[in-house]
Amino acid sequence: MQPTFVLVHGAFANSFSFAPLQAELGLLGHRSVAVDLPGHGFAATYPGAYQAPQDLAGLACAPGAIKGVTLADNAAHLIGILERAKRNGPVILVSHSRGGVTATVAANRRPDLIDRIVYVSSWCPVDLDVSAYYAEPEMAAVDARGLASAMVGNPAELGLLRCNFRTADPGVLASFKAAFLADGTDEEFMVFLNTFQPDENLDAGTPDDRAQADSWGRIPRTYVRLSEDTSVPPAMQDRMIREGDALTPQNPYDVRTLTSSHLKWLVDPAPAARVLAEVAALLPSGS
């Protein structure tokens, strides 16, 4: 039976960013579903203070719908979609960036719903929590100043992370481009930046949410490395792979590499669609 690709976005993103990839997958004859995690997509909050002219003081205290959303909520939502997709045949779960944390929790809880799990430069914590990885040597070259300088409000008071992606500060915009889409044009970067939503949930998981050998570890898996990524550098991607392989050496990652920054594979998705089609061909006959 034809598999369904279930696509899970990263932080501050939504299902909209997968539209070009879904078009390429469809033209290759593959079915896909792009997920909006709780508080994302049309459930996101865009305060009036976020519009032009911006009111940064108002933006710093405006409530957001994603407040209180937990990683458990994300995983439960994703599992509901996986259950529906599984009725139609095999399921290939694909995650990007922070979406890997949600995908990993869902795989821990319901490995029976996933025929293969694919991480595209995404987080699959094994030895540490995601926040702890940021203090590791593999992340030393990551320049987080742009994102930090665009953060608005007090996360503890807002109950969420809020970033002003509509800033006109040229230094911050240059930092964003270097971090996310250095290999894209300025026009591509601005288009993608305007698909981001300002709010993200705070909960990035606990030790209980790391990959578990007896559930997650049973699922065949692929890691698609992005060789030009400066947000999740190749050294950290390779560490994710090593840790997963050490956890379940009998079920190692199938590793692929795309020449891409953190976002270029979504802007120019044909190579990624071909890789995913190759991954679909790995499913056992009759699965």
Q: What is the pLDDT of residue 286?
A: 61
Range of the domain at 141: 4-282
**Spatial separation of the C-alpha atoms in residues 12 and 250, rounded to whole Å:** 35
Whether residue 287 is contained in a domain is answered as no
Whether residue 166 is contained in a domain is answered as yes
CA distances from 83 to 29, 76, 258 (A): 22, 11, 30
Tens digits of pLDDT across the chain (287 residues): 799 999 999 999 999 999 999 999 999 999 999 999 999 999 999 999 999 999 999 999 999 999 999 999 999 999 999 999 999 999 999 999 999 999 999 999 999 999 999 999 999 999 999 999 999 999 999 988 888 899 999 999 999 999 999 999 999 999 999 999 999 999 999 999 999 999 999 998 999 999 999 999 999 999 999 999 999 999 999 999 999 999 999 999 999 999 999 999 999 999 999 999 999 999 998 66
Whether residue 250 is contained in a domain is answered as yes
Q: What is the pLDDT of residue 84?
A: 98
Whether residue 88 is contained in a domain is answered as yes
Whether residue 216 is contained in a domain is answered as yes
Q: Around 45, how many Cα atoms within 13 Å sit in the side-chain half-sphere? A: 20
Determine contact, residues 3/220, Cβ cutoff 8 Å.
no
Whether residue 255 is contained in a domain is answered as yes
Contacts with 266 (C-beta within 8 Å, 6 or more apart), sequence order: 17, 18, 20, 21, 96, 192, 272
Q: If we measure between CA atoms, which residue out of 66, 78, 72, 7 comes closest to residue 40?
A: 66
For 205, left (φ over 0), alpha (ψ -120 to 50), or beta? left
Whether residue 246 is contained in a domain is answered as yes
Record the pTM.
Answer: 0.97
Determine contact, residues 41/16, Cβ cutoff 8 Å.
yes
CA triple 265-6-208, angle to 5 deg: 100
CA distances from 100 to 8, 93, 119, 282 (A): 8, 10, 6, 21
Contacts with 185 (C-beta within 8 Å, 6 or more apart), sequence order: none
Residue 181, Cβ density class (10 Å: 0-12 exposed, 13-18 middle, ≥19 buried): buried
Whether residue 254 is contained in a domain is answered as yes
**106: CATH:** 3.40.50.1820
* Helix orientation angle between 71-86 and 99-109, rounded to the nearest 10 degrees: 60
Q: What is the pLDDT of residue 287?
A: 62
Q: How many domains does the chain have?
A: 1
**Spatial separation of the C-alpha atoms in residues 231 and 215, rounded to whole Å:** 29
Q: Could you tell me how far CA 227 lies from the centroid of its own chain?
A: 16
Q: What is the pLDDT of residue 145?
A: 81
DSSP letter at 188? H
